[in-house]
Amino acid sequence: MRASEPGPSLTELATTHGTDKWGMHRYTPHYERFLEHLRDESFTLLEIGIGGYAQSGEGGASLRMWRDFFPRAQIIGLDIEDKSFVAGDRVHVYQGSQVDPEVLDRIFADFPDIKVVIDDGSHRPEHIRETFALLFERLPLDGLYAIEDTQTSYWPAWGGSRDRHDPSTTMALVKDLVDGLNYEEYLDQHYRPTPTDLTIKGLHCFHNLVILEKGDNREGTNKRVAAEPLTGLDALRQKIADTADRFRRRSP
């Protein structure tokens, strides 16, 4: 297909291949918005979770959707179950846990040009958070990282919590990353930006889907250096809050 010829939309391909990224969910228009610029590029996309668990011999619908949307890309699927039958032209399959560093190291050794990671794996917050910690730093500065099915943050049966302020959920991670977008505006003089503070330039939340754009997040600040300082009880409260925040960020 020539670049000048418009191909089918991602939603059309999702329908053709039967992936729930359109239908049960409404993910494909968001993905197309953020990935359209890569359509004719050579790169590698890694999707965690291949699907088709209802019966043997099923799965791979979204990998085929990605393959057809990106005609020059290599598509990788990682799954805890054996999905080797899904492999084919430009589709590569690995078996293993999404939080196994050795498996992830092997994938990145085989495909060092991974630019897009989509976490559609276990959907358990502890796995999502650990996978993000293992993989986001490996992406190039123009990479993209997506987390699907974030509704499990609120479901205890999936490792989530009824408490919307529980710090261990997927959405708690997302909320921290949103704060990090604005780290240059913090008034804590002792704060040191984290790697994600410095390299997440955009974070987009949709229903059950989060998309993060990697890039240089050093834009500078317009805060007043000579802002009137806090005094008395207000200063003490702020000092306690700043100390607690630094401790929390250093904790695993």
Show which residues are catalytic. 123
- The three-point CA angle 222-224-229 to 5° equals 150
Note whether 208 and 149 are within 8 A (CB): yes
CA nearest neighbour of 85 among 124, 120, 50: 50
In which residue are the tokens 């205890």 written? 156
Distance of CA 31 to the CA centre of its chain: 12
When computed from its CA atoms, the radius of gyration of the chain, rounded to whole angstroms, is 20
Q: How far is CA 237 from CA 66, 176, 234, in A?
A: 50, 20, 5
